[in-house]
Amino acid sequence: MTPDYVERYARHLVLKDIGGPGQNKLRDAKVLIIGAGGLGAPAALYLAAAGIGTLGLMDDDRVSLSNLQRQVLFTSDDVGRPKTQAAASRLRALNPDTDFALHQGRFDESQKGILTGYDLVLDGTDNFTARFAINAACHRLGKPLVSGAAIGFEGQLACFHSHKGQTPCYRCLVPTMPHEGDTCESIGVIGALTGIIGSMMALEAIKIITGAGDPLYGRLMIFDGLAGSGRTLGLPKDPACPVCSA
């Protein structure tokens, strides 16, 4: 640990649940964020700041003016740029210790091989087709998955690691493809909510990597931004799950 390293991560190093060993685990970790939007943007900021060794960013979109209300990773000057490139530029300026791997495109079943190079996946996508494909790939490859969602004033968050039956998978929560009804584009989302859920996704990722605390495995956290309240529900395994059942 160089003097600059110690100074940069000083607030982690004095935490009894992180310390030097935990910071070294963060430095050695390889994390993939799929979806560099409302959830992925704040998650990426906090994971890069935390000293993640390699941060992968996957998205097929370009920055638009309507993104800036919630995707605080980007600036007005980024409008029109691919989100992965704009994100990497900002994150490198935040923390040059982190290496970045850019994957331009939308995740589907054919791209599951990308996950093999990572220890952990964060799903910040906004459609169930991608969510189902990410969950199936994480299950088959044994990758822990942190999944978040936000719409209107309500957000939710859960963690999964179903490869060896450790936890339920995302399909235990959503067994069949829902109708793609209300979306952020059609009914809106408060920008600060995506910051809350995205930051909590980063927190869960840090807990999983370092072994600190109790990640949201087998639990679903629901946050009501209008009421300023939250609740956590148990999420049992579905014995008829099409992905993780025996």
Complete domains list, the chain, with CATH: 3-234 (3.40.50.720)
**On the CB side of 157, how many CA atoms lie within 13 Å of its CA?**
26
Higher pLDDT: 14 or 164? It is 14
Task: Specify whether the CB–CB gap between 193 and 36 falls below 8 A.
Answer: no
What does the pLDDT read at residue 185? Answer: 67
Of 79, 208, 187, 97, nearest to 144 by C-alpha is 208
Q: Which residue has the higher pLDDT, 217 or 179?
A: 217
**Residues 238-243, mean pLDDT to the nearest whole number:** 93
H/E stretch holding 206 reads helix 191-210
3-7, 184-188, 228-232: which range is least confident on average?
184-188
Q: What distance in Å separates the CA atoms of residue 122 and residue 207, rounded to the nearest whole number?
A: 13
Q: What is the mean pLDDT of residues 32-60?
A: 97
Residue pLDDT, tens place only, 198-234: 999 999 999 999 999 999 999 999 999 999 999 999 9
Q: What pLDDT score was predicted for residue 188?
A: 85
The secondary structure of 139-176 as a DSSP string is: HHHT--EEEEEEEBTEEEEEEE--TTSSS--HHHHS-S
C-alpha to C-alpha distance for 177 and 193, rounded to whole angstroms: 25
pLDDT of residue 69: 95
Q: How far apart are CA 27 and CA 54, in angstroms?
A: 8
Please say whether the beta carbons of 57 and 90 come within 8 A. no
What pLDDT sits at residue 163?
A: 87
Alpha-carbon span 230 to 237, nearest angstrom:
22
C-alpha angle 18-225-147 in degrees, rounded to nearest 5: 50
Q: Of 148, 150, 145, 120, which is closest to residue 135 (Cα–Cα)?
A: 145
Phi, psi dihedral angles at 126 (to 5 degrees) = -125, 20
**pLDDT tens column, 131-173:** 999 999 999 999 999 999 999 999 999 999 998 888 999 999 9
Is residue 62 very low, low, confident or very high in pLDDT (cuts 50, 70, 90)? Answer: very high
> What is the pTM (predicted TM-score) of this model?
0.95
β-bridge mates for residue 229, sequence order: 224
Give the length of the chain: 246
Q: DSSP letter for 104, please.
A: E
Region of 131 please: left (phi>0), alpha (psi -120 to 50) or beta: alpha
